């Protein structure tokens, strides 16, 4: 018998997927500048399911200089992926889109010496960039229904179409987030390439209005999760260099009036806020509970003996461990807040829908979820710059809502009653109010929490200005409309006076902070407005008396506060009103020499008597405020856009 010409090869110690071998062959082999992989290599490359983690590891190990040296390979990958999309070769389209998402997400954010020109060199070359990217757009234009092109007319393609669109969105997100700080994105927008990419990746309709394609995808989506990424993309595009040139996406936000689509967006934002909030609750369960035998036993250390205690028990983290966990929050999908802000700034219908949209069965109202997340963000804002950025975004949305007088009227009326889960993970706690409440009361609680939980020597002046400013706008509306609001007002006034005490104590650390004087004026004027117009909005005479009592009690602090910051030299505040009220009652109390130590009840009685001889000389315009101007927040918004870009980069790499 003749020997067989076949020889048995040794079995490899570990199995390596074929696609991983191809990745290594592409990026680790030495290829001449003009050399190219064979056609068969690329056909197999895109037929195999991508191994995104392995490709990510290979690309992550390559530095910017390595990629420039490997530009022949990187250009081939980009060009061949485009060719694959142009052919519409079924499942290969999906693989090409996944590969491009990983490719862009890995190579674009690297720290190149000359980011714009180096990235162009890696992707296409300066002399070919226009042709290659135009080809790229044209290729994407063919992925609307790739399976139909294979003659599979009887196949149900709806799910596959949606998958292709979503993967195309991921490709655009990876380019947008990766190239956000370069001139490349400007090139895409100026050349009108991004609109074409979205037409393909989302839906090939409405050719003259690229933003409509995003909305069409949203409109066709069945779940809030499907809406999240295209809406996040819209937020990034609308913010790109919007202070340097007229951003076309900003203009389209103004004009969009498809109510059904806007409602889907609002519900998606609400859903995302609930998911983000759950990440905080997973660390510390803070839902206030009713009084029960279980709670009683738990309070005295015997919770373990209650029925079902072990089954329902969550791990109790060490405070320092919990703090570290909180510092990593919110999750990266908080990037949706940038789009929510831009829509709130540009579109009245979005604002109306956000405030008024009712809850779906078994869910919270979107505005309730949005405010709830804001509460959690504010209680932990001091832990990281990123958390602070997102807290700012949320507060700016509420400022915009409150400045709309029709919406403010609704927010302060019984029409807006809704239950809001407010954060109770850090002391001091505000009183628990169960059931539905007028929305304005929950907003005020959230602002108080923001003030109480972020007192630091390096005070975030902008955050405090937003919190106090929102309070001022609500109280201004209440006083003008003479709307009496049932609320624990004593907590609000206590918080403001505690802030004044803090500002006085740490004046040496705070005086040099930017825009600090504006915050001083806001706090003083809000208290002065409450003293002069409290009868119009405080629910009872007792609530009004309590305000005067607190001001009188803080008399010495107010005098020191005035002198420390030389407030009497600035006509922009009403510190004189607070001091005069305190002095008036101090004089009355000192006149009664029959008693040296008066009880709080006796002091309250003196305050009531003092109304007859009290004259509050408050300056005019205390209830006035300036409308929001986006240009004033230019620096802050640029920081927020960068924070969002970082989170989107994580999303597309997942």
DSSP 3-state assignment of 342? helix
β-bridge partners, 437: 418
pLDDT of the residue at 11:
60
Stronger pLDDT, 543 or 2, i.e. the higher one: 543
* Pair 107, 74: CB distance under 8 Å: yes
Where is 509: in which H helix or E strand?
Answer: helix 507-510
pTM exceeds 0.75 for this model = yes
HSE-CB at 167 with a 13 A cutoff on CA atoms is: 22
Which residues fall within 8 angstroms of residue 645, CB to CB, at 6 or more apart? 177, 180, 181, 236
pLDDT band at 222 (very low <50, low <70, confident <90, very high): low
Task: Classify residue 515 as left (phi > 0), alpha (psi -120 to 50) or beta.
Answer: left
Residue 301, pLDDT > 80, answer no
Q: CA-to-CA distance for 409 and 483, rounded, in angstroms? A: 10
DSSP 3-state assignment of 629? coil
What are the tens digits of pLDDT across the range 250-278? 888 888 888 988 999 999 999 999 999 99
How many other CB atoms are there within 10 angstroms of residue 415's CB atom? 13
Chain centroid to CA 304: 39
Q: Which tokens belong to 291?
A: 């009084």
pLDDT of the residue at 198:
41
What are the tens digits of pLDDT across the range 584-633? 888 777 765 555 566 767 776 777 777 666 777 666 788 889 999 999 99
* Pair 183, 116: CB distance under 8 Å: yes
What is the total residue count of the chain? 654
Distances (CA, A) of 621 to 475, 532, 533, 537, 577: 13, 12, 12, 17, 14
Q: CA-to-CA distance for 335 and 651, rounded, in angstroms? A: 10
Rounded mean pLDDT of the chain? 84
Q: CA-to-CA distance for 9 and 3, rounded, in angstroms? A: 16
Stronger pLDDT, 241 or 53, i.e. the higher one: 53
Q: CA-to-CA distance for 574 and 529, rounded, in angstroms? A: 9
pLDDT of the residue at 141:
58
| Three-class secondary structure assignment of 58-126 | HHHCCCHHHHHHCHHHHHHHHHHHHHHHHHCCCHHHHHHHHHHHHHHHHHCCCCCCCHHHHHHHHHCCC
Residue 380, pLDDT > 60, answer yes
What are the tens digits of pLDDT across the range 413-422? 999 999 999 9
Q: Which tokens belong to 225?
A: 């999760």
Distances (CA, A) of 405 to 201, 505, 539: 39, 37, 22
Stronger pLDDT, 374 or 583, i.e. the higher one: 374
What are the tens digits of pLDDT across the range 147-189? 333 333 333 455 556 677 778 888 889 998 998 888 777 766 6
Distances (CA, A) of 628 to 260, 400, 402, 447, 625: 28, 7, 11, 18, 9
Residue 457, pLDDT > 80, answer yes
Which residue pairs from 381-388 have beta carbons closer than 8 angstroms and sit at least 24 positions apart in sequence?
381/450, 381/453, 381/454, 381/460, 381/463, 382/453, 382/454, 382/456, 382/460, 383/323, 383/326, 383/327, 384/327, 384/328, 385/639, 385/643, 386/643, 386/646, 387/327, 387/329, 387/330, 388/460, 388/463
Q: CA-to-CA distance for 628 and 607, rounded, in angstroms? A: 38
β-bridge partners, 645: none
pLDDT of the residue at 155:
39
Which residues fall within 8 angstroms of residue 35, CB to CB, at 6 or more apart? 72
DSSP 8-class letter at 506: T
β-bridge partners, 418: 437
What are the tens digits of pLDDT across the range 547-587? 998 999 999 999 999 999 999 998 888 999 999 988 888 87
Residue 145, pLDDT > 50, answer no
Instruction: Report the range of poorest mean pLDDT among 185-189, 192-196, 637-641.
Output: 192-196
pLDDT band at 144 (very low <50, low <70, confident <90, very high): very low
pLDDT band at 35 (very low <50, low <70, confident <90, very high): low
The torsion angle over the Cα atoms of residues 494, 498, 501 and 507, rounded to 10 degrees, is: -140
What are the tens digits of pLDDT across the range 50-107? 999 999 999 999 999 999 999 999 999 999 999 888 887 678 889 999 999 999 999 9
pLDDT band at 208 (very low <50, low <70, confident <90, very high): very low
Q: Which tokens belong to 395?
A: 């507060």
**What are the DSSP calls for 446-461, one per residue?**
HHHHHHHT---SS--H
Q: CA-to-CA distance for 85 and 94, rounded, in angstroms? A: 9
Average pLDDT for residues 510-528, to the nearest whole number?
94
pLDDT of the residue at 87:
80
Task: Classify residue 23 as left (phi > 0), alpha (psi -120 to 50) or beta.
Answer: alpha
* Pair 370, 354: CB distance under 8 Å: yes
**What are the DSSP calls for 395-444, one per residue?**
HHHHHHHHHSHHHHHHHTSGGG-B------SSSSPPPP--S-B-HHHHHH
pLDDT band at 200 (very low <50, low <70, confident <90, very high): very low
H-assigned helices in 247-361: 248-255, 259-281, 293-299, 309-312, 319-327, 336-346, 348-356
* Pair 347, 419: CB distance under 8 Å: no
Distance linking the first and last C-alpha atoms of the chain? 57
- Determine whether 64 is exposed, middle or buried from the number of CB atoms within 10 Å of its CB (0-12, 13-18, 19+): middle
């Amino acid at each position: 018998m003749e020997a067989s010409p076949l020889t048995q090869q040794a079995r490899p110690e570990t199995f390596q997927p074929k696609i991983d071998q191809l990745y290594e062959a592409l990026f680790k082999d030495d290829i001449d500048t003009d050399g190219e992989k064979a056609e068969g290599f690329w056909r197999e490359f895109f037929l195999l399911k991508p191994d995104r983690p392995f490709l990510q590891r290979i690309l992550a190990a390559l530095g910017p200089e390595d990629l420039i040296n490997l530009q022949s390979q990187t250009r081939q990958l980009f060009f061949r992926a485009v060719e694959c999309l142009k052919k519409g070769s079924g499942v290969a389209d999906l693989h090409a889109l996944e590969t491009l998402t990983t490719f862009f997400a890995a190579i674009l954010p690297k720290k190149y010496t000359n980011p714009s020109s180096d990235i162009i060199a890696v992707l296409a070359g300066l002399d070919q960039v226009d042709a290659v990217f135009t080809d790229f757009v044209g290729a994407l234009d063919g992925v609307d229904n790739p399976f139909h092109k294979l003659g599979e007319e009887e196949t149900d393609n709806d799910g596959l179409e949606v998958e292709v669109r979503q993967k195309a969105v991921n490709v655009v997100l990876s380019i947008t987030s990766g190239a956000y700080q370069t001139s490349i994105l400007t090139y895409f927008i100026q050349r009108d390439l991004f609109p074409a990419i979205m037409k393909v990746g989302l839906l090939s309709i409405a050719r003259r209005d690229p933003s409509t394609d995003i909305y069409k995808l949203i409109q066709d989506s069945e779940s809030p999760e499907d809406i999240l990424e295209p809406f996040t993309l819209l937020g990034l595009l609308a913010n790109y260099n919007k202070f340097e040139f007229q951003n076309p996406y900003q203009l389209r936000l103004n004009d969009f009036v498809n109510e059904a689509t806007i409602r889907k967006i609002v519900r998606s934002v609400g859903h995302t806020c609930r998911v983000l909030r759950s990440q905080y609750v997973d660390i510390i369960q803070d839902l206030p509970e009713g009084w029960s035998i279980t709670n009683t036993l738990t309070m005295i250390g015997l919770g373990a003996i209650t029925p079902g205690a072990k089954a329902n028990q969550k791990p109790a983290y060490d405070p320092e461990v919990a703090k570290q966990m909180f510092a990593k929050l919110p999750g990266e999908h908080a990037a949706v807040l940038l789009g929510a802000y831009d829509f709130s700034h540009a579109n009245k219908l979005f604002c109306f829908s956000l405030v008024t949209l009712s809850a779906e069965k078994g869910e919270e109202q979107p505005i309730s979820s949005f405010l709830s997340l804001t509460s959690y963000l504010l209680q932990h804002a001091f832990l990281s710059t990123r958390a602070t950025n997102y807290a700012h975004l949320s507060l700016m949305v509420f400022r915009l809502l409150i400045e709309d007088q029709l919406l403010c009227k609704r927010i302060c009326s019984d029409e807006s009653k809704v239950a809001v889960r407010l954060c109770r993970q850090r002391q001091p706690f505000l009183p628990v109010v169960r059931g539905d409440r007028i929305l304005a009361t929950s907003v005020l609680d959230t602002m108080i929490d923001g003030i109480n939980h972020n007192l630091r020597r390096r005070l975030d002046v902008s955050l405090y200005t937003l919190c106090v400013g929102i309070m001022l706008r609500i109280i201004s509306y209440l006083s003008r409309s003479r709307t009496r609001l049932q609320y624990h007002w004593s907590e609000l006034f206590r918080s403001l006076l505690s802030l004044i005490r803090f500002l006085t104590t740490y004046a040496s650390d705070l005086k040099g902070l930017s825009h600090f004087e504006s915050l001083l004026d806001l706090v003083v004027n809000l208290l002065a407005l409450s003293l002069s117009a409290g009868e119009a909005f405080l629910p009872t005479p007792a609530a009004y008396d309590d305000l005067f009592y607190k001001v009188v009690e803080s008399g010495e602090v107010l005098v020191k506060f005035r002198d420390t910051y030389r407030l009497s030299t600035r006509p922009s505040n009403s510190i004189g009103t607070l001091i005069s009220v305190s002095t008036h009652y101090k004089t009355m109390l000192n006149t009664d020499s029959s008693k040296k130590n008066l009880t709080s009840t006796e002091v309250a009685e003196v305050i009531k008597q003092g109304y007859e001889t009290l004259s509050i000389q408050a300056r005019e315009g205390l209830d006035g405020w300036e409308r929001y101007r986006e240009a004033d927040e230019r620096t802050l918004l640029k920081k927020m856009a960068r924070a969002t870009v970082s989170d989107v980069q994580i999303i597309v790499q997942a």
